Structure 1
């Protein structure tokens, strides 16, 4: 028969299942048979003690021929027995047919117990014992008194099991519930053994989802299945770390290699202007060079954000991140004869990269200032651990058919927000990447003010 190893998950489940099953079966089937109020066989030590007592009585009355006199003396022996003397039993004599001939048995409860016991046993079978409350009767043992063959019974004071157990034995449903209760710790331990490694995996997965690629040695503990999965998970994290580090080095090299020729091109353009004077062609070259340099910078920033899962995360209040940005943006809007309105920033904190979070809101607000006619409105709202931020303006807006496209890199709206405005089409893409790296969502729709409405959500603490 195949038995799984106990250090494996299936082995532990197998062991706990069978242990629980054994507890339930033993409890339901065996415990009722241990009820002392049912006739049970007498242990060998007790049977030997009863036999020795029988021999002692026969030796004491070997010369007595008057049975009534013997019964009277047995009554006096029983009378001298005190309640605290647990080792001296009461002696009862019956005929071979079970008729009680012992004299004046008191109290009546003992007589009724003896009467019930003698009427419920097989005299030809082995001696048995049975409890009646706190009194136990055992027998019969054959005895010869006054040359007559009789039967000897023994009565003992007996404490018995606690009343709680007796009530369980009287009510099978309660007994079953009690046995199930006893097996519950095994089941709880099994549930804990299964859930604890799973919880560690869930926490590790959440950390990865939040951008924290950290190797967790605790994942490699527990059953063999979880240890194997934990090792694979940590190897995956290390591989991703190596890949991201390589991409970051590549981005750094690309940044250096692209910016160097652009810088030389701008220097060459400046020298040409000094030698030949200003011209429309040289101005166009300088303008496109600046635009290309800006585009490369934003592109590198977007690529870095999309691959930078190791961004430093801090817990900071929202007000310390965005209050100064909004104040500066409000001042700039006033210089353009525009109005920027915003409500109080909620008194909550957020875990994330301060630079990315500040850049996300700043890009959206400056975009609204740039394209709004004269009104820009920023609204903050928190509910159920989620922060919702809306930024809207009363500009020309974006056609409904293009709202879902504006967060794509290099995407430009064909109407008001075109290439002539000087944008590179990367600002909203950078914002979308920053929000997504903080487990948030972002969307665009038409504002009631007539322009664009950008809404993003972030989990807060």
Structure 2
């Protein structure tokens, strides 16, 4: 089945076809109505004339040549044997207009008579009396021009064709004008490549579907550009972070092979093992970040945030103690495994930077579950509070306390929290650093306390 690829062509063909059906229906209706009106008017005229001469025959006052006062000029009075008794001037030199004799029980009949070599005649036949030998009066006129020819249909077709052409042109122009912004959007989208996603599609005026499509396309391109920039920055940072330990490991191993007598083999192996552990930690954190962005979210489950914090706070005896205090029953919905990883990362980070203790508080505030982790260490300068969540970002204090760190722990925490619809920030604290996690609390919490 033929189907044009162009929407413009399809809509033009569809509109033209529908218009053709509509105009054909209207044309047929006008044609039939016009023909009926002309025919009915002609029969009405012939009936009046035939009735007049039928009455004259009954009264015995009929001249030899019948006069004509209207356009009905074919008048004949024919006896029972088919002989013309009287006729109008135009009907004397022709045989009876019709061979049809109305029966006695149906004396009035309208007829259309078409004889070979002559024009068709619309006539009215009246049997003068029911008697067997009653004459018949025929009054007729030549079939009107519009009924005898197809000029009426031709005229209607000539009227319909320009209308049909106008509909096709108007549809083609309107659909083309409507789709012009789509073509502009398509052309601009074809210019966008993976190396340059800064281009945006032009926004047409108004708030119709095409304008909404353009806005949605630009919003998608905005997100794509952000994702591409993050990917490039991530690849750059990852390659930098991986290059340094790999280069150090290579130098140490090459030096051990080139100068075995000057190198402590055990120390070289311990250094290589330490570097390998750091590489393993970096690769592991990178895989976690990749899974967070690529995998489908796990089915949520209700989680008691205070119980989760207490579970994560248990650790070796020689580590900095963690004190957990909770106000009420604070529950959230999410992935227990992922939120436990957030808790572990925050507590391990706090232990590394604390001088003597870590405080964890869990409470409900304005419909949100709020968990804060506070250490009594040196704290984080205000200008660095957002930087610490960047990938591979490690402040000087972090490098001093944890030389083997990857700089991805807090970035992973924020990724997980944002995937749960929450926030993770560093906020003011009278001592040390205070990380505050906010998630939407479950609606069935028995108590909720608001703070100013």
Provide TM-score, normalisation by structure 2. 0.39
Structure (1 or 2) with the larger CA radius of gyration: 2
